Amino acid sequence: MAISFTPASGPLADLDLLRVEQADAVLHVRLNRPAKRNALNDTLVEQLQFAFTHLPAETRAVLLSGEGDHFSAGLDLSELQERNVAEAVVHSRSWHAAFEHIQFGRVPVVAVLHGAVVGGGLELAVAAHVRVAERSAFYGLPEGQRGIFVGGGGSARIPRLVGAARMADMMLTGRVYDADEGLRIGLTQYVVDDGEGFSKGLELARKIATNAPLSNFAVLHALPRIAEMGQAEGLFVESLMAAIASGDPAAKERIKAFLEGRAGKVSKA
């Protein structure tokens, strides 16, 4: 069934470096600096934080993508030259704050990746929860060749997906992975043909949006923290989260629907 997006209203409509559109429970947030390969400058990062902290009430999932030929070529280096050390720390922390609102926000985020997913663009992508790559996508961390270090949370998030040694190789040697390699090493969960990323991402976002909100919230907030705990502590927190989720009225209704044969069973696609 076709789905129609309409431009966001209110403050979200005033974000000039983002295109924000709503379709039912899915909000589409699109990076909108195509002439700069969607390089991330201070204003764009600020606008991302604003968008993810002012989601419309009806939003149950976000689709994140980039306008033009690339998802994002990373940090806009033109803004980096004049910063001193103290200013650079504050700048990095501003990225951390913005991307925290994506990873640990109110709803799941599906990122659609194509073209360059490089440096800060990769740091942004891995803050999302599900990543769909078109075959044109490629991944790199050129900070080592630029004389700098990642500052948008990459050193905390990327090794959890691919391992510290692989990330070190990318930074030290400039190694670039293509879409299929990115899937193999864990940077993404899906690869589709060029031009099909949006439809696949939207399909996933719409499916995610039908889940019980509390269950989605638990996956976003409890799961990554449990994974970082010792086993005993993690299992205890899991028990607490399972009890909270199962006690939610939405969960009770869904379980009742399954027991009454009104909900589908798990099957192989």
Question: pLDDT tens digits, residue range 81-100?
Answer: 678 899 889 999 999 999 99
pLDDT in tens, 208-233: 999 999 999 999 999 999 999 999 99
Tokens matching residue 38: 């969607």
From 100, 123, 181, 228, active-site residue: 123
Instruction: Flag whether 266 is in a domain.
Output: no
For residue 107, the model assigns a pLDDT of 98
Is 123 annotated in the active site? yes
Question: Is 248 found in the same domain as 123?
Answer: no
For residue 86, the model assigns a pLDDT of 92
Question: Is 182 found in the same domain as 250?
Answer: no
Amino acid identity of residue 52, one-letter, is: F
Question: Is 85 found in the same domain as 26?
Answer: yes
Instruction: For 13, list phi and psi in degrees, rounded to 5.
Output: -75, -15
Instruction: For 212, list phi and psi in degrees, rounded to 5.
Output: -65, 130
Cβ-count burial of 161 within 10 angstroms (0-12 exposed, 13-18 middle, 19+ buried)?
middle
Question: Is 199 found in the same domain as 224?
Answer: no
Output the domain CATH number for residue 239.
1.10.12.10
Output the domain CATH number for residue 62.
3.90.226.10
From 46, 58, 134, 143, active-site residue: 143
Instruction: Flag whether 264 is in a domain.
Output: no
Question: Is 224 found in the same domain as 200?
Answer: no
As for how many domains the chain has, the answer is: 2
Cα 160 to Cα 25, 62, 79, distances in angstroms:
30, 22, 29
Question: Is 128 found in the same domain as 91?
Answer: yes
Instruction: Flag whether 249 is in a domain.
Output: yes
Residue with tokens 């659609």: 112
Question: Is 78 found in the same domain as 42?
Answer: yes
Question: Is 195 found in the same domain as 76?
Answer: yes
Instruction: For 143, list phi and psi in degrees, rounded to 5.
Output: -55, -35
Question: Is 220 found in the same domain as 169?
Answer: no
Contact status, residue 153 vs residue 172, Cβ threshold 8 Å: no
For residue 5, the model assigns a pLDDT of 95
Range of the domain at 125: 6-209
Question: Is 177 found in the same domain as 76?
Answer: yes
pLDDT per residue as tens, the chain (269 positions): 568 899 999 999 999 999 999 999 999 999 999 999 999 999 999 999 999 999 999 999 999 999 999 999 998 877 766 788 998 899 999 999 999 999 999 999 999 999 999 999 999 999 999 999 999 999 999 988 888 899 999 999 999 999 999 999 999 999 999 999 999 999 999 999 999 999 999 999 999 999 999 999 999 999 999 999 999 999 999 999 999 998 878 767 776 666 667 666 766 76
Question: Is 55 found in the same domain as 24?
Answer: yes
For residue 48, the model assigns a pLDDT of 98
Of 194, 209, 224, which residue sits at a domain end? 209
Instruction: Flag whether 73 is in a domain.
Output: yes
Is 253 annotated in the active site? no
Question: Is 221 found in the same domain as 170?
Answer: no
